[in-house]
Structure 1
């Protein structure tokens, strides 16, 4: 039992608005070999449609973490989008055309615990070498918060990039726990400081790192596997 959150009608309306309603679906929102930069392609003469599509995708990403990385990436080109960036947007729309019933399932029968996955993709952007932070936060076994963001400056090592990602995740955890406390939800522990031993950080294998899906484009098998583990599921038949 639980609640399935999705935006099927919003997706269909967006596809109709962008004339992509009959587009052929693709298995991932971005090819794993894609390397988009600010200099990719030729600048668009009219960026209105690009801006509209990105704004709509940003709203949609509130219930679809599977497009979070791409929305973050494509949002970085809003000031000077190119035809290559627009083609990347159209691929996201083709992915959505085949996943209109995907969403987040919120369980009602899970223990009231909070845990998170944090990751950083060090220096993948060859234009700026700025890393991407990502986190997934679960409450009671259900995904309640996620983020994929570009770091503010270049990290000198993969360890520094990871530390920044952990700090960003810890900040979000503290905020969530504060909200839960105000709502009268008592947690077994309260996330606050690593030094106090209350917030525990553990290293996990790459195979189990769910936040990997929010730091880079992945090949179809890996993308599908992580989506399932993250909790992005189709609406069950009624």
Structure 2
């Protein structure tokens, strides 16, 4: 695929992948080996995190359409081989993060994809795009589960910084684009319709009340984790990739 024609995005925004898409791939070993290799690449390339997460869900019985989607990721990588994350020694030591969820985006079982990106200063240091367990009954529920995941991650990052003798310059801020989610994290009144989320709810509220972090609302246009929850159109994907912190590597 090194000489293949590059594409601008790792996954087509108009393509819908399901467990029954097209015909079963005759030889699935190449599919599994390729997706397995791509999983390692997500450790340094958050822009392909969603695509690899979605393609990993078909490892047990990949279809020809799934294999075409894998080759599209490779075509995208062939055209962006010099893209990476450049860390600066002048970056401030403050933690902040973005969390988002694509409600019921999985067409097979209507589960949601939760995602987050955590930053140390101006550059991302941790990210995740993962299929949520269980079906969320509202977008707020899906978003709150994603928020819970990033709260746990930010707490771990803060603990790691403490062990390394690094002092954060400000209280970590978590940004989400669901206004109800923001209210729930600070409101002492727990809504009866959300009781099945009690553990997640109290875990987040404990951190907010203890002032170890802050949850803030952000517009959907500025939600950087959006690129890790669903395939996006060309313009939106390129805009978020730049904002996430990916840049052209300097020549060696």
What is the TM-score normalised by the length of structure 1?
Answer: 0.89
Whole-angstrom distance in 2 between the partners of 1:104 and 1:117? 17
> What are the within-5 Å matches in structure 2 for residues 90-101 of structure 1?
90-101=71-82
For the pair 1:140 / 2:154, whether they are aligned, the reply is: no
Task: Report the secondary structure of 1:165's partner residue.
Answer: helix
Corresponding position of 1:128? 109
Corresponding position of 2:250? 236
Q: What's the CA shift for 1:236?
A: 2.3
Q: What's the CA shift for 1:89?
A: 0.2
> What are the within-5 Å matches in structure 2 for residues 212-223 of structure 1?
212-223=226-237
Query: How many matched pairs?
Result: 219
> What are the within-5 Å matches in structure 2 for residues 197-216 of structure 1?
197-216=211-230
Corresponding position of 1:64? 45
> What are the within-5 Å matches in structure 2 for residues 1-238 of structure 1?
20-189=1-170, 193-238=207-252
Name the Cα RMSD after superposition: 1.2
Render the CA deviation track for 1:109-168: whole Å, top value 9, x for unaligned.
Answer: 021100000000101112211000110111122210011000011100000011100000
Q: What's the CA shift for 1:198?
A: 2.4
Structure 1 gap segments, 5+ residues each: 1-19
Query: CA contact under 8 A between 1:134 and 1:146: conserved in structure 2?
Result: yes
120-129 vs 163-172, which deviates more?
Answer: 120-129
Q: What's the CA shift for 1:237?
A: 3.6
Q: What's the CA shift for 1:195?
A: 2.2
Query: CA contact under 8 A between 1:121 and 1:131: conserved in structure 2?
Result: yes
156-165 vs 125-134, which deviates more?
Answer: 125-134
Tell me which stretches of 4 or more aligned residues in structure 1 moved more than 6 Å.
Answer: none
Whole-angstrom distance in 2 between the partners of 1:224 and 1:89? 20
Task: Report the secondary structure of 2:142's partner residue.
Answer: helix
Whole-angstrom distance in 1 between the partners of 2:3 and 2:126? 32
Query: CA contact under 8 A between 1:106 and 1:143: conserved in structure 2?
Result: no
Higher helix content, 1 or 2? 2
Decide whether aligned partners of structure 1 residues 190 and 205 sit closer, same or farther in structure 2, where only a CA change above 3 A counts: closer
Q: What's the CA shift for 1:188?
A: 3.4
Whole-angstrom distance in 1 between the partners of 2:248 and 2:215? 31
Query: CA contact under 8 A between 2:129 and 2:228: conserved in structure 1?
Result: yes
Whole-angstrom distance in 1 between the partners of 2:85 and 2:40? 15
Structure 2 gap segments, 5+ residues each: 173-205
Corresponding position of 1:12? none
Task: Report the secondary structure of 1:32's partner residue.
Answer: coil
Query: CA contact under 8 A between 2:122 and 2:245: conserved in structure 1?
Result: no
What is the TM-score normalised by the length of structure 2?
Answer: 0.84
